[in-house]
C-alpha cells in the first residue's frame, strides 16, 4: 500500500479529467482500508470507486482512497435462486457477464454499464427496465469515522430513481465494501419490453431469448448510442430524466405537442431529458473539447482536454436552454465534485 502525492486522476475517472489528488492510495482489503482510515483520521478523505459517475471540476485537496477489493462468490443457492456476493472493486460489467456465464438471471439488462460494483447501490443504477434494487439483497460498508462494519438491507438503502441513502442521509459516511444480489437459477424473468430490445432481437431473428441474447442486445444498443469512455470521455447520462407535476408537462405540451412522457403517479410524469436537450438544439454541439454526444443528448463528452469546469459550464448552458424553452428544470445525475 503506497501513498502517492500530487497524483493525476485522469485514468481514474471515465470523463478523463486531468484533476490531481493531494494524496492517493489504492486499498485491496478491509484491513488495508481500516489502516488507512485510522492513520489519516484527521485528514479530508475522498472515496473513489470506478470514477464513472463523477465530474471533477477541481483538484482534490484530500486523501483519495481508491477501493480496489476483488472477488465474487456464490453464498447460497437452491433450485430457484442464488445469492451472489461481489467485492466493491470488481468491474460491474465483468460481474454481469460472469453471472450470465453461470446462467444466473436478473442483471442482464444492465450489461455494459461502466463503473465498479461497490458504487452501484449509491445511485441505484439502472437501464432498459431494470434497476439494481430489483435484485439487491444487502451491502456491507465501513463507517469512515469509526471503521465499524455495517450491513445495509435493501430497505435501509432507501432506493429511488438514481437515489439511495448513500446520496442523502448517509452521504460521505460509509465506504461500500461488498454487495449481495439474489438472482434466478431457472424461470428467468426475461424483460425485453423496454426501448429497442425487441427490435434488436428481431433483427437477429431471435424469438425466445435467453440471458445471453438479452445481454448481447443491450450491449449492441448501448454501443450504438453511448460513447465508450475508453474512446471518448463521458459519465453516461449527465442529467436525470426530470419528474414533473402533470400541470408543468401539460403547459409544455401546449407548445410542443409531441413531448414524450412516462406516467410515474397520478400527479407526476417523467420526461426524457435527452429529448428536451435535443429539441433545445444541443445534440452533437461542441464547445472546445466539451460537447453533447451526437447519438444521445443526455451524455456530455470530453473530446480530450476539456476541464471539469468547462464541462460544467456546458451543463449549465444546457440546463438554462431547456428551462427557457420548456419551463422544466433538469438536474445533474453525476456527482459534481
Ligand atoms: N431521446 C431523444 N434524443 C436523444 C436521446 C433520447 O429524443 O438525444 C428520446 C428517445 O427517442 C426516447 C427517450 O428520449 O424517446 C428516451 O431515450 P433512451 O431510451 O435512450 O433513454 P434515456 O431516458 O435517455 C435512460 C437512462 C440510461 C439508460 C437508458 C436505457 C437516465 C438518466 N438514463 O436514458 O442510463 O441506459 O434509459 O434504459 O435514467 C445512465 O444512467 O448513465 C444511463 C446511461
Confidence tier at 1 by pLDDT (50, 70, 90):
confident
Distance CA 194, CA 128 (A): 5
Indicate whether residue 296 lines ligand 1 (CB < 6 A).
Answer: yes
Neighbours of 128 (CB within 10 A): 20
What mean pLDDT comes out for the span 137-143?
98
Residue 160 grid coordinates: 429511488
Read off the pLDDT band of 195 (50, 70, 90): confident
DSSP 165: G
DSSP codes of every residue in 206-228: -SS--HHHHHHHHHHHHHHHS--
CA distances from 125 to 79, 110, 132 (A): 28, 8, 6
The tens digit of pLDDT for each residue in 157-171 reads 999 999 999 999 999
CA distances from 106 to 62, 151, 318 (A): 38, 22, 35
pLDDT the model gives residue 194:
86
CA distances from 161 to 132, 270, 337 (A): 11, 11, 21
Q: Which atom of ligand 1 has the smallest separation from the CA of 295? A: 8
For residue 224, the model assigns a pLDDT of 93
The whole model's pTM is what?
A: 0.92
Report whether pLDDT(67) > 90.
Answer: yes
Mutate to test the pocket of ligand 1, among 274, 276, 322 (most ligand atoms within 8 A of CB): 274
Question: Residue 234 above 90 pLDDT?
Answer: yes
Confidence band, pLDDT 50/70/90 cuts, at residue 318: very high
Q: Mean pLDDT, to the nearest integer, of 118-123?
A: 95
Protein residue with its CA nearest to atom 9 in ligand 1: 275
**pLDDT tens-digit map of 251-283:** 999 999 999 999 999 999 999 999 999 999 999
Q: Which atom of ligand 1 lies closest to the CA of 123? A: 41
Name which residue sits closest to atom 2 of ligand 1, judged by CA: 275
* Short-list 122, 117, 121, 50, CA closest to 90: 117
Q: Is 283 in the pocket of ligand 1 (CB under 6 A)?
A: yes
> How many CB atoms within 10 Å of residue 124?
21
User: What does the pLDDT average to over 24-52?
Assistant: 95
In order of their start, the domains of the chain are 4-67 (3.30.43.10), 72-202 (3.30.465.10), 233-336 (3.90.78.10)
In whole angstroms, give the CA distance from residue 140 to residue 217.
32
Known catalytic residues?
Answer: 162, 237, 333
117 CA distance to ligand 1 middle (Å): 22
User: Each residue of 72-93: pLDDT tens digit?
Assistant: 999 999 999 999 999 999 999 9
How many A from CA of 322 to the centre of ligand 1?
16
Ligand 1 centroid, distance to 225 Cα (angstroms): 9
Question: How high is the mean pLDDT of the chain?
Answer: 96
- Identify the residue whose cell numbers are 445534440: 283
Coil vs helix vs strand at 276: helix
Amino acid at each position: 500500500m503506497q501513498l502517492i502525492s500530487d497524483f493525476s486522476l485522469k485514468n481514474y475517472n471515465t470523463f478523463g479529467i486531468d484533476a490531481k489528488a493531494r494524496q492517493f492510495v489504492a486499498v485491496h482489503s478491509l484491513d488495508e482500508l481500516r489502516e488507512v482510515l485510522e492513520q489519516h483520521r484527521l485528514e479530508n478523505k475522498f472515496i473513489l470507486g470506478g470514477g464513472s459517475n463523477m465530474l471533477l471540476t477541481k483538484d482534490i485537496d484530500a486523501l483519495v482512497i481508491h477501493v480496489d477489493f476483488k472477488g465474487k462468490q456464490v453464498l447460497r443457492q437452491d433450485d430457484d435462486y442464488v445469492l451472489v456476493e461481489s467485492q466493491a472493486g470488481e468491474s460491474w460489467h465483468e460481474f454481469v457477464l460472469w453471472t450470465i456465464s453461470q446462467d444466473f438471471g436478473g442483471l442482464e439488462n444492465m450489461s455494459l454499464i461502466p463503473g465498479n460494483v461497490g458504487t452501484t447501490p449509491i445511485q441505484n443504477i439502472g437501464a432498459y427496465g431494470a434497476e439494481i434494487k430489483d435484485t439487491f439483497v444487502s451491502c456491507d460498508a465501513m463507517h469512515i469515522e469509526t471503521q465499524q462494519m455495517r450491513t445495509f438491507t435493501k430497505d435501509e438503502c432507501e432506493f429511488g430513481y438514481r437515489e439511495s441513502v448513500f446520496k442523502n442521509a448517509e452521504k460521505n459516511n460509509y465506504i461500500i465494501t461488498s454487495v449481495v444480489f439474489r438472482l434466478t437459477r431457472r424461470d428467468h424473468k426475461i424483460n425485453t419490453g423496454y426501448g429497442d430490445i425487441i427490435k434488436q432481437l428481431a433483427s437477429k431473428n431471435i424469438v425466445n431469448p435467453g440471458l445471453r441474447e438479452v445481454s448481447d442486445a443491450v450491449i449492441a444498443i448501448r454501443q450504438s448510442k453511448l460513447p465508450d469512455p475508453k474512446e471518448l470521455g463521458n459519465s453516461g447520462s449527465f442529467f436525470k430524466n426530470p419528474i414533473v407535476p402533470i400541470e408543468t408537462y401539460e403547459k409544455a405540451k401546449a407548445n410542443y405537442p409531441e413531448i414524450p412522457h412516462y406516467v410515474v403517479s397520478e400527479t407526476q410524469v417523467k420526461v426524457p431529458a435527452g429529448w428536451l436537450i435535443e429539441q433545445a438544439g444541443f445534440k452533437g454541439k461542441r464547445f472546445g473539447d466539451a460537447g453533447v454526444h451526437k447519438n444521445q443528448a443526455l451524455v456530455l463528452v470530453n473530446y480530450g482536454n476539456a476541464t471539469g469546469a468547462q464541462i460544467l459550464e456546458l451543463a449549465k448552458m444546457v440546463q438554462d436552454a431547456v428551462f427557457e424553452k420548456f419551463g422544466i428544470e433538469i438536474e445533474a445525475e453525476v456527482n459534481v465534485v
